[in-house]
Amino acid sequence: MCGIVGAVRRSEPVLSALIEGLRVLEYRGYDSAGVAVHTGEEVLLCKKQGRLANLEAALAASSFAAGSAGIGHTRWATHGPPSDANAHPHLAGGGQLAMVHNGIIENHQDLRVQLLEKGVEFASQTDSEVLAHLFAVEFAAADGDARAALRAALAQVDGYYAVAFLLSTESGPAIICARQGPPLVVAQGPGGTYLGSDLLALLPHSSDVVFLEDGDIGVLTADGFELFDADGNPVERAPKEIDWDPTEANKGPWPHHMLKEIHEQPDVLARTVFDRMDEQAGDVVLPGLEDEALRSVQRVQVVACGTALHAGWVTRYAIEELARVPVDVEFASEFRYRNPVLVEDTLALALTQSGETADTLAATRLCRELGARVLAICNVQGASQVREADHVIMTHAGPEIGVASTKAFTAQVAAGILLAIRLGRANGALSAERAREVLHGLRSLRFQMEQLLTREKCEHMRSVARNHAAAKGFLFIGRGINFPIALEGALKLKEISYVHAEGYAAGEMKHGPIALIDPGMTIVSVNAPSPLADKMRSNVEQVQARGGVVFSVGSDQATHDLARDVCSVPPTLEILSPLLNVIPLQLFSYYIADQRGCDIDKPRNLAKSVTVE
Ligand code: M6R
């Protein structure tokens, strides 16, 4: 949460690079934005509450002079409400240096008291400003040794940070940065040196990026960067070549990133799955996950958050069905603070789009401490989760910018199904013939997804959404492998439309939730051709008999016949049906949010990656 950018250029003014970087990173937080630029003589600051557009307007109205070094920030507020004063950067050292921070300084109150006693004056209510002043005090004491000052300041801090300071050194303006928890990436471009909390900010300048490790300190000048480890020793971190095209992160002609990303799903599925399928052998090829690595797996422990957790739930059904290995699924945020018991030969499975979700990282670290190997299903190249895992299956969704996750979800589910096939083939539970049947179904899915995304289908979903946009609440119900799709449909709707929605296992309705049903409630039924289809149908009849308004998604015609609105999906295997059923639910949420006038790509109170607790 929060986006950080920085650049030290040889001669060109830095401001445009900072603003472009912030534009790419605005999905990381959009409560306020700010920049600080070093002119060579002084540090200029401009920061504004609200969206980046407010900052740009303020900059246009000011005489913000040229300078070739600067830092910028887009904020997701933790301590102190969104305001101009609480926006980053924060100045310290009599305005001689500026700082941006992502993370939480847990002992900020104690440190604030100590600094106040030294006569420091605070301009904001943030925890972050404490770090700015701490560094300034140490910098003054260290006789200009910025690295020594930063180490001394950070030694007093409890918490998590990606932090960058803009300051003067003997050789001119420079940036010094450090990481403990949230990510930081650096790159050398043709015109200078660049810093970002997310590699997307760096791609316009270089496709070779270097990720700081926890404890690292980086010093950026116009000529390059140096890294130092937690003990202060110079350290080389191998550059990672990123094959994303930076223009993929643009919205292009689409009104929203979310709609663009929903429509990318057929291609994302193909990129994630097709090259890994070996239909002749009835198997999939996952480097590092050959028979030897998987044969002994006795149990799988899924840890993830939000939408990624729902993909983990689908994966559970697939693994238990195809590989006959028991799977536990848990919120990473709960798992990490329990005293969990893992049996021998547990494979920990972390699903995460960003690879930087703090709870997922912590939960998988705990799994490793408990003796499990860690397999990550991740979308962002070089992310912490990728670097820390024993095995990785990359999803090839490309940059996902919409805060509501869509294409990353289907890619995670597809990767989970590949894993289930590989595990089943490795341990002998899955025949080549059955594997071929699933692979054949996967091969057809790209076209079937496209059928759900035609102009006509989208118009249909827009009108279905119109019929339900005023409902007072929504219950999404499903069974079996479509129960997690009910959870996902409800999450999508509430996060972008701000209406109350719950996902329920349909069989649980009579244990409480059916009491909610009245004509103001929409019930979204997610069904599939399965032995449970009859039971779903009778659940739908029961809510309909109590006045609930039904929207039926799936391929079961008898359930559709009961509903006010229908979205028919092409028939596929039950195990693959989540990959189709979720698409109308994504469109349903999108169009309801659109009709309610919500800010779809930047829903209130949210940010794309939850890198702090
Ligand atoms: O980057 P991750 O996949 O680890 O993120 C997990 C969740 O924060 C994320 O899926 C979140 O729930 C989305 N906003 C849902 O659309």
pLDDT along the chain (613 residues), means of 10: 94 94 91 95 95 94 84 92 96 96 95 96 96 96 93 96 94 95 94 95 95 97 95 94 89 96 98 97 97 96 98 98 98 97 97 96 97 97 95 97 97 98 98 98 98 98 97 96 98 97 95 92 94 92 93 95 96 97 98 96 90 82
Question: Which residue has the CA at smallest separation from atom 4 of ligand 1?
Answer: 352
Q: Which residues in 76-231 belong to E strands, given as ranges?
A: 90-92, 97-105, 159-169, 172-180, 185-189, 192-196, 208-211, 217-221, 224-228
Same domain, 479 and 439: no
Under 8 Å between Cβ of 80 and 126: yes
Domain span including residue 424 = 256-453
The SS3 assignment for 7 reads strand
Q: Does the C-beta of 406 come closer than 6 Å to ligand 1?
A: no
Same domain, 224 and 272: no
Q: Which contacts of 54-59 are long-range, i.e. CB under 8 A and separated by 24 or more positions?
A: 55/19, 55/22, 56/19, 59/15, 59/19, 59/35
Report which residue type is found at 17.
A
Instruction: Report yes or no on 612 lying in a domain.
Output: no
Same domain, 156 and 268: no
Q: Annotated catalytic, 608?
A: yes
Instruction: Report yes or no on 68 lying in a domain.
Output: yes
Under 8 Å between Cβ of 323 and 277: no
- d(CA 112, CA 97) in angstroms, rounded, equals 18
Same domain, 297 and 402: yes
What per-residue confidence (pLDDT) applies to 143?
A: 87
Under 8 Å between Cβ of 101 and 161: yes
Same domain, 473 and 342: no
Q: 299 forms bridges with which residues in the sheet?
A: 346
Which is nearest to 343 in space by CA: 405, 301, 290? 301
- d(CA 192, CA 220) in angstroms, rounded, equals 9
Which is nearest to 153 in space by CA: 193, 101, 194, 196? 101
Same domain, 105 and 214: yes
Same domain, 433 and 466: no
- d(CA 326, CA 310) in angstroms, rounded, equals 17
In the chain, the number of structural domains is 3
Q: Does the C-beta of 412 come closer than 6 Å to ligand 1?
A: no
Same domain, 330 and 207: no
- d(CA 325, CA 320) in angstroms, rounded, equals 5
Question: Which residue has the CA at smallest separation from atom 12 of ligand 1?
Answer: 306
Q: Does the C-beta of 495 come closer than 6 Å to ligand 1?
A: yes
Q: Does the C-beta of 311 come closer than 6 Å to ligand 1?
A: no
- Domain boundary, last residue among 453, 473, 499: 453
Instruction: Report yes or no on 249 lying in a domain.
Output: no
- d(CA 381, CA 322) in angstroms, rounded, equals 29
Q: Which contacts of 504-509 are long-range, i.e. CB under 8 A and separated by 24 or more positions?
A: 504/475, 504/476, 504/477, 505/477, 505/478, 505/479, 506/477, 506/478, 506/479, 506/535, 506/536, 506/539, 507/479, 507/535, 507/539, 509/475, 509/477, 509/539, 509/542, 509/543
- d(CA 21, CA 15) in angstroms, rounded, equals 10
Sign of CA dihedral 76, 78, 83, 87: negative
Q: Does the C-beta of 600 come closer than 6 Å to ligand 1?
A: no
What per-residue confidence (pLDDT) applies to 453?
A: 98
- Domain boundary, last residue among 237, 265, 299: 237
Quick check: bond before 571 cis, omega within 30?
no
Q: Annotated catalytic, 2?
A: yes
Tokens found for residue 307: 């939408």
What per-residue confidence (pLDDT) applies to 23?
A: 94
Distance 353 CA to ligand 1 centre (A): 7
Within 253-343, residue ranges assigned H as helices are 257-263, 265-273, 291-294, 306-322, 332-335
Instruction: Report yes or no on 102 lying in a domain.
Output: yes
Instruction: Report yes or no on 611 lying in a domain.
Output: no
Half-sphere exposure of 345 (CA within 13 A, CB side): 10
Instruction: Report yes or no on 606 lying in a domain.
Output: no
- Domain boundary, last residue among 395, 419, 453: 453
Same domain, 230 and 315: no
Same domain, 357 and 223: no
Tokens 């490790």 belong to residue:
213
Which is nearest to 311 in space by CA: 357, 373, 353? 353
Q: Does the C-beta of 360 come closer than 6 Å to ligand 1?
A: yes
What per-residue confidence (pLDDT) applies to 62?
A: 80
What per-residue confidence (pLDDT) applies to 65?
A: 73
Q: Candidates 352, 405, 412: which one to mutate for ligand 1, based on the most atoms within 8 Å of Cβ?
A: 405
Q: Does the C-beta of 489 come closer than 6 Å to ligand 1?
A: no
Same domain, 109 and 146: yes
Distance 590 CA to ligand 1 centre (A): 17
Report which residue type is found at 527.
N
What per-residue confidence (pLDDT) applies to 171?
A: 85
Same domain, 121 and 201: yes
Residue 358's domain is classified under what CATH number? 3.40.50.10490
pTM: 0.94
Distance 105 CA to ligand 1 centre (A): 23
Question: Which residue has the CA at smallest separation from atom 11 of ligand 1?
Answer: 306
CB atoms within 10 A of CB 83: 17
Instruction: Report yes or no on 466 lying in a domain.
Output: yes
- d(CA 38, CA 55) in angstroms, rounded, equals 18
Instruction: Report yes or no on 609 lying in a domain.
Output: no
